[in-house]
Amino acid sequence: MDGHCTPGLTTATAQDGFIRWISLQTWTVTKTIRVASDSGIVVMVPSPDYRNILVETEDRKIYAYRVGSDNVVLTVANNTSALSSLDVFRLSGVAVTTSSDGLVQFWNTETRSLMRESTVPGELTAAAASPFSTVLAVGSATGVVRIYDAGDDQMRLLMRERAHSGRVNKLLFDPSGRYLVSIGADSSVYLYEIFTQFSVVGYLTTSATPAGCAWKVDENENGNAMVTYRIEDILTDLTVMPSHLSPGRESFHVFSIDRKLKLYTGPAPTKGADDKAPQQDVVHIGSPMYEYQEHEKPYSHTRLSLSREWLFTHSPDGTITVRTLMEPDKVERVFAHDPFQGGVRDVAATRDCRTVITIGEDKLLRFWNWASSGVTGRRAETEVATIVEGILEAQKEMLEEIAGNVADAQAKEVDAPDSLDEKPLTDVKSADVSTDHEADKEDEGARAQMQSRIALIRDRLVKAMQKNETLPELERIDREEFVVDFEQRDALLEEAETKTRKVRKEIEEENLKKRVIRNRIKRECWDSMEVIGQSIKSFRADPVTNRIVEVINYPIRRRTPEELAVVAKVKLLRRTQMMVAAATKQTQKKTGPRDVDLSDEHEEGHVGDANDKPAEPTLEDIAKMSNRALLYDPFELTTNERKRTQIVLLKEVLLDIRHEFNERFKEMVQSKKDDVSKIEDKNDRIAAIMAELQIQETIFHPELDDDEVPERIIEVQDSEVKVERFITPEEQKRLEEKARQEEERLRLQAEDNYRERAIMNMMGGKVDDRSETEDKEELVRPDWMNKPKEEMSEEERKQVQEFEKKLAVQKEEQEKYRKALETELRKLQGFINEVCDAYDARMREFFNYRLLTDRLVYQTELKIIKLGQATLFGEDDEAKEAAIQDRLEELRSEKMTCMAEIPDIKKDLERCREEYELAVKRDKEIERQFRKEFHSFDFYFDALLKLFKRRESPMEADASRGSQQETLNPFQNLDRSHPIASTSEDAAQPLDYATDAPEGLGTDLWSKLVDLRDRKISAEQDVRSTMVRFNETQSLVQGVLDESERIRIETERITADLNAFMDYKFLGTYDLENLFELKQGQVEVPQAPVVTDYSDAVLIHRGVVEKLNETIVALGGAKVDALKEMKDYRKGIHALEWENKMLDFQAEDLVIRTRDIQLLRVTKQMQEFIRSGDEHKQSHEIAALEKRAEYSQRTHYHKLEEKQRIIGKVEHKLKEKVRENRRLDSKLRELELAVGERKGIHDVQAKRHPKGTVSDGSALREIYARRKLVDLAKSQAQDIAILREEVERLRLRTYPAFPARRAEF
């Protein structure tokens, strides 16, 4: 039983299915309602207002009853008390649940209602629905796996097997719906084929009970290989990552016993490994890549959506989580079921993941709708739906085939109940395997005998073939004669030809696909370009940066006709506007300065003198203006239309800048090609000279890079193809025909070649210069010239002399020719270096030009961005202004409405106040009348006054008078608290003369008392009613006034916002952003380390600055003049002071000298000097000087004699040196003759033995180079000595210093 108690009434339920209402006063049943006849009531839950009641019965049904009615409504009639598993048919969106009592229920996920239900034998523990068919698999506690076709109302049994000896823990279809896997508590895993056979195809036994399983979508070529991964953790479930998220290796999410979701990644497979190589038994995996603390309780599970984009997890803690595999750190968590009753048991989702279904241990089945918010959520839903629909569309043929196979499958007629006596499939299979093993043993002997006979025949055939190879050619038979099985040979040849055709067809299809992709890429990335991207590089690295200078052109996309039409329209409108403005100005000049409305684009202009302004353009000039001339002045961009036009024109200017640069780029490319051709021409001559001189030096061959020739990208060169080209029979015939024609042409040409005939007749078959040929011919010394001169005759001696003269002349000519070739070689190499240097210099200048062009392009793009930003802000400002204006109009209309209602409401308030005052006045008059009437009766006055003021309520009405609903409502007495209701319902109880009248009171007084009391009660009711109306009217007036005040405040705020917005819009319209290019030194704002803030900077005109500078210079000059005047004045003062001091010092000096003279003692010498003067002293000095001059002359003569002796010795040595030089000259001539003879012998030997030439020549060159370096060092030493003397001389002229004594030679 169950019950609920209310004030004065209680409700009770019973096992007989009735609800009864019992009165607490009388303890009697007041009402009885029948809910269920065949089941008892378990729980009853009333609503908070006790007007509705929900009742749950023992058969798991829920009824709803509205108090006061006689009908009970059945709301829920589904049994979800023993739900064991859950899954969803992805195609139809139908959810299927199984119960432990064998009940299978199908639910509509759109309407959340039960569609149908069926009963299956046994206690169901697991279920799985095929993703692409109507196949349903269920497993029981006894290990029986059943497969049904659930497409019809009545399920058809397609397969029944007791695969496991224990309960079935999990069933799972593969993503394609072809296979099914079952996991049992007996540590076995079975694989079923659900495409055609509907039977078991394999099984696996593990050492421990599997906790989970998952399918890997990628098909491995080595299907028989098995890899075991070991993780040092206790796992509860796992999910394999899709291949596009884990390419090249195994990755999977697992749940561990520590309640964490972890991602493990297996090792990458070894490249080039043989598929037949033995696999490693166990692969240990270390720590996970990441892990998340998902749930509060262990034994959590995972499930992957059909699109393989979403991962669901559920746990006994009652929560489910949803995340995407691309962003696993972003998780949505939902509390689904009561954790104290076991939490979530299973979770499933529809194919688009918009509906999620959960079942829990709390006996509830819940449907969750994925509510997407915002554009991002809807986009995600669309993407998921697109992916799923793409999967279904790609597998459309397979779906049709699966549906056909399911429909054609033979249904089982009998579904036997589960029994533990039935043998598991493992025992049956082991018995069959033992029987087959015995049969195989019997056939093994016959097979071995047959193989031995075949081996013997093969050995004899091989020996015969080997012997045939050793026989003579005439006796040898063809290899095909040894063929034994012609049919097998023909079959092998046919198979090879078939495979060849198949491979060729596959290659052709693959090439066709690549060709289509190539054409599409070429059309989108090459044909759509007006100017293809190209670069140009210098020949050599820059000496400063040590890097190759590279310049890239501007790739330009080919514009569509629609874009060109828009640009032409904008240009036409701009030219038209400029023509109208020019015509308007000409009209104004003719008519004079009258009141003419000038356009705003001519009101503003650059700051400057009128004389500096350019002449106004004429109509003809406007029609011929370039894109740059069509641009608006930056201070004229005050409207969004002009800004949009300026953006289009700036884009055209930007395009012109790029085209101009690309034209110069083409000139540079052509210049490089010309230089390369010149260099190659010179290289041919250099190669010929080096070959003639037998010099091995590196020749510089410039080549164009792939970036410099972009056409190489779409052209395939023969050198790029690394495989042998396959030539079809048609192509082979065409090539043979072409070769035959070429041979015929050469044959006809060789019959009568007039060119060769002319060369043979005129020049002996040679086109070389004969003089050069003769110079190159070597003179051969006859053998008779090698005999001694004594044995030669006079004629032979003359011939020897002539031969030696010719040999000397030839050597001299060859030497001259060699030097000429070397000179030409150096000139050619120098020419190549000059060409490369000149081009590299032009490349550096062109690179700087590219930088300047980039700066101009970036400035123009910045202007476009700023204008676009201003346009967007302007559009937003218009919308904001319109919204503010609309709101202001609404407030004005509301204010007018309030102002119109206020007078009428105030009139009603005054009327209600008057009525209230009249009612109060009438009430007081009645009370005064009572006191006046009964004041004389002192004995009864107090009792009568109590009776006059008594206001008792009547007794509660009888229960039978009220309605049944009011009787059963426990809150019926609480509704009488309203003041208006109390005026009508709580009427005062009338007085009873028999019970209420005082003793001895007359009937006349009693009648008068009752009359006054009734009038008093009526007056009080009038006072209360008028007071209520007055309060309501007053509150209404106050509300209207408050609303009016609110409207006024909001109107003021909106008006202030509008004024502020208009100021902001005015500033945004006329306070324009403009770009200025300033020279260094013209910016006086302190520069920040990163970005300088120019928000409070001011742009000042150049004239203002110059005028200010002139003023500053003038003031500075005046100040300098004043300072000069002050300086001169102070200079005079200082001069006078100095003169006074000088005179004082002179006076003092005179006084001192006078005193010294007065105190001086006069000696004899002084007296003699005074008498005779200084003549005697001078004579002594003259005599001393004459003696010194005489001594100096004698010393000079002595030195002259010494020098004469030294000169004699030097002349003697000079004569000896001259004689020695003559001897050396004669000896040198003899040595030169000997060297000449040896050189001749050496040359002859070098011609006979050319290997030694290079080494001897290199030795001579080293000696020659060393001699030149020595001479150069001596000359430089002499130059340094001369320069040192010049420095010493200049130093002596500059400084009065005594030079160091030089060593004389």
Is residue 456 within a helix (H) or strand (E), and if so which, with residue range? helix 425-470
Give pLDDT, residue 4.
Answer: 56
Report the pLDDT averaged over residues 95-117: 85
659 pLDDT tier (thresholds 50, 70, 90): very high
- With bands split at pLDDT 50, 70 and 90, how would you rate the model's confidence at 1114? very high
Return the pLDDT at 273.
Answer: 44
Q: What is the pLDDT of residues 844-891, one digit of tens each?
A: 999 999 999 999 999 999 999 989 888 888 788 888 888 888 888 888
User: Between β-strands 301-304 and 344-349, what pairing exists: parallel, antiparallel or unpaired?
Assistant: unpaired
> pLDDT tens-digit profile of 14-50?
567 778 877 776 777 777 877 776 677 878 888 777 7
Q: What local confidence, expressed as pLDDT, does residue 778 receive?
A: 66
Phi, psi of 18 (to 5 degrees): -115, 150
The mean pLDDT of 829-843, rounded to a whole number, is 92
Residue 960 or residue 752, greater confidence? 752
Rounded CA-CA distance 396/302 in Å is 28
Instruction: Look at residue 947 and tell me whether its pLDDT is greater than 50.
Output: yes
Q: What's the pLDDT at 669?
A: 93
Residue 703 contacts residue 539 (beta carbons within 8 Å)? no
Least confident of 33-37, 103-107, 266-270, 927-931: 266-270
DSSP string, 1175-1240: HHHHHHHHHHHHHHHHHHHHHHHHHHHHHHHHHHHHHHHHHHHHHHHHHHHHHHHHHHHHHHHHHH
pLDDT for residue 595? 40
949's CB contacts (< 8 A; 6+ apart) are none
Q: What is the pLDDT of residue 1?
A: 53
Mean pLDDT value across residues 1132-1138: 92
Helix (H) or strand (E) holding 19: strand 18-23
- Beta-strand ranges (E) seen in 495-547 are 529-531, 535-541
Residue 619 confidence class, pLDDT cut points 50, 70, 90 = low
Residues near 1263 by beta carbon (within 8 Å), at least 6 away in sequence = none
Alpha helices in 32-145 (DSSP H): none
Distance of alpha carbon 1234 from alpha carbon 1253, whole angstroms? 20
Share of the chain above pLDDT 90, in %: 13
Mean pLDDT comparison of 236-240, 545-549, 987-991, highest-scoring range: 545-549
Higher pLDDT, 935 or 200: 200
Whether the pLDDT of residue 807 is over 70: the answer is yes
Give, in order, the Cα–Cα distances in Å from 733 to each of 632, 738, 740. Answer: 69, 9, 11
Torsion angle of the four alpha carbons 752, 756, 758, 764, in this order, in degrees rounded to the nearest 10 = -140
1224/303 Cα distance (integer angstroms): 112
Q: For 390-394, 1182-1186, 1190-1194, 1296-1300, which range has the lowest pLDDT when averaged over its residues?
A: 1296-1300
Q: Please compute the mean of the pLDDT values over residues 209-237 and round it to a whole number.
A: 70
Q: What's the mean per-residue pLDDT of the chain?
A: 79
DSSP 1232-1276: HHHHHHHHHHHHHHHHH-GGGHHHHHHHHHHHHHHHHHHHHHHHH
380 pLDDT tier (thresholds 50, 70, 90):
low
User: Considering the entire predicted model, what is its pTM?
Assistant: 0.46
Quickly count: other Cβ atoms within 10 Å of residue 304's Cβ: 20
Over the stretch 1211-1263, which tens digit does the pLDDT of each residue have?
999 999 999 998 888 888 888 888 888 888 888 877 776 544 444 566 777 88
Summary count for the chain: helices (H), strands (E): 21, 37
pLDDT of 656 higher than 90:
yes
Q: Is residue 616 over pLDDT 70?
A: no
Among candidates 788, 828, 854, which has minimal Cα distance to 695? 828
Of 881 and 229, the one with more pLDDT: 881
- Cβ-in-10-Å burial (0-12, 13-18, 19+) of 305 comes to buried
Q: Which residue has the tokens 């589904």?
A: 78
Of residues 1160 and 971, more confidence is placed in 1160
Helices (H), 935-977: 938-949, 964-968
The least confident of 14-23, 201-210, 451-460, 829-838 is 14-23
Angstrom distance (rounded) from CA 389 to CA 126? 28
Nearest to 534 by CA among 661, 655, 656, 651: 661
Using a pLDDT cut of 70, give the percent of the chain over it: 80
Report pLDDT digits (tens) over 350-372: 877 788 899 988 778 888 887 66
Continuous H helices in 321-424: 374-394, 396-408
DSSP of 906-918: HHHHHHHHHHHHH
Which helix (H) or strand (E) element contains residue 689?
helix 640-693
What does the pLDDT read at residue 958?
39
Count the residues in the chain.
Answer: 1305
> What confidence tier does 954 reach under pLDDT thresholds 50, 70, 90?
very low
- What's the mean pLDDT in 673-698? 89
Smallest CA-to-CA distance from 1001 within 944, 929, 933, 950 is with 944
Q: Per-residue pLDDT for 1000 more than 80?
A: no
Q: Is the dihedral of CA 1241, 1245, 1250, 1254 positive or negative?
A: negative
